[in-house]
Amino acid sequence: MATLEIKDLHVSVRTDDAAKEILRGVNLTVNSGETHAIMGPNGSGKSTLAYAIAGHPKYEVTSGSVLLDGEELLELEVDERARAGLFLAMQYPVEVPGVSMSNFLRTAATAARGEAPQVRHWVKEVKQAMADLDIDPSFAERSVNENFSGGEKKRHEILQLDLLKPKFAVLDETDSGLDVDALRVVSEGVNRYTANKDKGVLLITHYTRILKHITPDFVHVFAGGRVVESGGAELATQLEEEGYVRFTGAKESAAV
Amino acid sequence: MIPQSSRGERFTSYEVDAFEVPGGREEDWRFTPLKRLRGLHDGSATATGSFAVAVDSGVEGVTVETVGREDERLGAAGVPADRVAAQAWSSFTEATVVTVAADTRPEGPVHVTVTGPGQGTTAYGHVQVRAERFADAVVVLDYRGAGTVADNVEFVVGESARLSVVTVHDWDDDAVHVGAQHSAVGRDATLRHLSVTLGGDLVRVSSTVNYRERGGDAELLGLYFADAGQHLEHRLLVDHSVPNCRSNVLYKGALQGEGAHTVWIGDVLIQAAAEGTETFELNRNLILTDGARADSVPNLEIETGEIEGAGHASATGRFDDEQLFYLQARGIPEDVARRLVVRGFFGEILQKITVPEVRERLEAAIDAELAAVGA
């Protein structure tokens, strides 16, 4: 069993003139086998949490700790964190022109596994994973995310999740911009990833609709840069009905 | 952009003195650091070394000759259009002529290796490559070594011939090379030219393509990688003077380090007679570090509306840290990630290289460039 522990995390974003504090003491523990949904209104710092854990250079951790099985992730480079078992499915996956998806996947798998996967097995593995996500095989030869639709990008994020099999996955607004079918396909991909109860998921979302496909064990409400309330799946239902008004003082719906 | 004067009316001459000594403000010279030319431009650089040309011998269908200045074939593809090219023309003592016989298709590429005269010495040279009618050949022109060099290179592509040329400028760090390349594309002939520029303190290559008759097709690809202090300059002129010809220009460059400077000038001229012309040119530069500078000037001049299509584009961008983050977030180490991105950037050119040994050599060279800065 593995544990991802976020302790009193404070994070600022660097702007041209000053640093602005966004996360103000986040505490959260995710064990493998658990899915935690983090829900919150726009601007509450949910995505900052995701990027700060992954090590994006734009965010500066001013204090606190992120431990993966006791190892301090904040002292590691971005790629070292990933190899330690952390995965970030991004809200806006980046286009990398000229680098084919198949080359990218193979390079990432080589890094994650510590050795190049055997060609024959690998080709089969990728084919199957793509089929599971209704991704046309022709995407393998296209440049990473280049001219992909929003839904295609999200499917490919989950494709990487499936192939890299990290210990923990942070899914940042993976449901945004997905139509009903794509949402189902992507959710099924996440559920396959967690099926053996040996993976931990931090599911960041504004809306409750993805929670109809992926059942969270815990729901945390995020506001003002920290977790303000935690509960079970029923908290999501409550948010769907009431919105975030109780936490923000402003009316903002959590329902679709 | 409005040119200072039409490229179609530009002055050409075999005589050095017909050209003014450039002062640095001329359109042709304004990007070039004249002080680093070691006198190639003002007549003070006298030949003190040899322009050594070695060509694979014994390739069936290929004839290699060393000829004197009086050989009537010389100059067939074009006339010098700047003072350094005229200086090279006036100064060479013997030329190398490589001829691919009509209707032949030599096995594998023909290697032409030019070795610089050595540090502290200057050499002038002349090379002509001829593909006679219906010939089909690949020629690799490989510059290496040290010294100061100016030369003229001619590619004469006969009727319906196909000539693929890869020019590699992989000079030692201190070399200075100012080259003029003249291509004459015959009726229904195809010229595929790839220019690779990696090494040298200053390399300036001016390439001109002329079409002799209808149906000519020229593809001009370029790949360059400038490090700290290097000046790499590519100037192209594609002169569409006859109908129904095509040209496609794609040059890509990467720069890194303080004072790395690249210049790309892409002039395409479609003369009034050149109806049915189809042309496109593109230059892209990728700046990997601070302190590097890429100048890019595409210029399309059209004197007839009766064309198939014409376009140009230029873009210079910085290395995208978001791409790096994305790849690293998948566990890919930074150096591998940088290599992926830069190889990806050059990918569309590398893919078009049909000679595997050349492609592998370039991939290795790009990796070595990246490793050099510890990226």
**Chain centroid offset of residue B24 CA:** 22
Model pTM? 0.85
Interface check for B317 against chain A (CB to CB < 8 A): the answer is: no
Complex-level ipTM: 0.95
Q: Does B258 touch chain A (CB under 8 A)?
A: no
Collect all residues of chain B within an 8 Å Cβ-Cβ radius of residue A54: 325, 329
Question: Under an 8 A CB cutoff, do A98 and B345 touch?
Answer: yes
Candidates B223, B252, B247, B226; CA nearest to B237 is B247
Spell out which chain A residues touch chain B, with contact meaning CB-CB distance below 8 angstroms.
54-57, 77-79, 81-83, 87-88, 90, 93-99, 103-104, 107-108, 111-112, 143, 160, 164
Residue B69: strand, helix, or coil: coil
- Burial class of residue A238, CB neighbours in 10 A (0-12, 13-18, 19+): middle
**In the block, residue with structure tokens 């193979």:** A106
Angle, CA A38 vertex, CA A36 and CA A44 arms, to 5°: 160
Read off the DSSP letter of residue B42: T
Residue A215 to residue A233: CA distance in whole angstroms: 7
Q: Answer whether A79 sits within 8 Å of B332, measured CB to CB.
A: yes
Round to whole Å and give the CA distance between B266 and B269.
10
pLDDT of residue B375: 43
* A197 vs B4, residue with greater confidence: A197
- Classify the C-alpha dihedral B360-B362-B365-B371 as positive or negative: negative
Q: For chain B, what is the radius of gyration of the CA atoms?
A: 20
B9 exposure class (CB count in 10 Å sphere: 0-12, 13-18, 19+): exposed
Contact between B167 and B181 under an 8 Å Cβ cutoff? The reply is: yes
- In a mutational test of the A interface, the residue from B286, B319, B321, B332 whose CB has the highest number of chain A CBs within 10 Å is B332
Q: What is the Rg, in whole angstroms, of the alpha carbon atoms belonging to chain A? A: 18
Q: Each residue's pLDDT tens digit in chain B (375 positions)?
A: 344 456 667 899 999 999 999 999 999 999 999 999 999 999 999 999 999 999 987 889 999 999 999 999 999 999 999 999 999 999 999 999 999 999 999 998 999 999 999 999 999 999 999 999 999 999 999 999 999 999 999 999 999 999 999 999 999 999 999 999 999 999 999 999 999 999 999 999 999 999 999 999 999 999 999 999 999 999 999 999 999 999 999 999 999 999 999 999 999 999 999 999 999 999 999 999 999 999 999 999 999 999 999 999 999 999 889 999 999 999 999 989 998 999 899 988 988 888 888 889 888 988 888 887 644
Q: Is B76 exposed, middle or buried (0-12, 13-18, 19+ CB in 10 A)?
A: middle
Q: Which of B320, B326, B341 to probe the A interface (max A CBs under 10 A)?
A: B326
Work out the minimum CA distance from A243 to partner chain B, whole angstroms. Answer: 33
Q: Is-contact A136 A14, C-beta < 8 A? A: no
Helical ranges in B292-354 per DSSP H: 321-328, 334-350
pLDDT at residue B186 in the model: 98
Report the pLDDT value the prediction gives residue B2, as an integer from 0 to 100: 41
pLDDT band of residue A251 (cuts 50, 70, 90) is low
Domain-by-domain residue ranges, chain B?
7-318, 320-375
- CB spacing of B320 vs A82 below 8 angstroms: no
d(CA A120, CA A8): 46
Q: What span, in angstroms and rounded, lies between the C-alpha atoms of B152 and A182?
A: 60
The alpha-carbon gap from B163 to the nearest alpha carbon of chain A, in Å, equals 27
Determine whether A30 is exposed, middle or buried from the number of CB atoms within 10 Å of its CB (0-12, 13-18, 19+). buried
Over residues A77-128, the pLDDT tens digits come to 999 999 999 999 999 999 999 999 999 999 999 999 999 999 999 999 999 9
From the list B322, B331, B347, the residue facing A82 with the nearest CB is B331
CA-nearest residue of chain A to B342? A98
**What is the DSSP secondary-structure string of B229-260?**
T-EEEEEEEEEE-SSS-EEEEEEEEEE-STT-
Please tell me the distance from the alpha carbon of residue B14 to that of residue B171, in angstroms, as a whole number. Answer: 27
Interface test with B, best of A56, A58, A96 (most B CBs within 10 A): A96
Residue B327: which of A77, A88, A96 has the nearest Cβ?
A96
What φ, ψ does residue A126 adopt, rounded to 5°? -65, -45
Work out the number of other CB atoms within 10 angstroms of the CB of residue B205: 23
Average pLDDT across chain A, whole number: 94
Q: Would you call B8 exposed, middle or buried from its count of C-beta atoms within 10 A (0-12, 13-18, 19+)? A: middle
Would you call B70 helix, strand, or coil by DSSP? coil
Helix (H, G, I), strand (E, B) or coil at A89: strand
Q: B323 CB near a chain A CB, below 8 Å?
A: yes
CA distance, residue B318 to nearest chain A CA (Å): 13
| Residue B358 C-alpha, separation from nearest chain A C-alpha, in angstroms | 19
Comparing CB atoms, the residue among A57, A97, A111 nearest residue B344 is A97
CATH number for domain A3-246, candidates 3.40.50.720, 3.30.420.40, 3.40.50.300, 3.40.140.10: 3.40.50.300
CB-CB contact of B214 with B187 (8 Å): yes
Q: Cβ–Cβ of B340/A82 closer than 8 Å? A: no
Contacts of A94 in chain B (CB under 8 A): 320, 322-323, 325-326
Let me know: does B313 contact A65? Beta carbons within 8 Å: no
Q: In terms of CA atoms, which chain B residue is nearest residue A105?
A: B330
Longest dimension (CA), chain A: 57
Q: What is the pLDDT of residue B372?
A: 72
How big is the CA angle at B43 (ends B41 and B49), to the nearest 5 degrees?
95
Å from B236 to nearest chain A CA? 25
Alpha-carbon distance of A142 to A126, in angstroms, equals 14
Give A-chain residues touching B341 at CB under 8 angstroms. 96, 98-99
Q: What is the distance, to the nearest Å, from the Cα of residue B21 to the centroid of all Cα atoms in its chain?
A: 23
Nearest CA in chain B to A91: B326
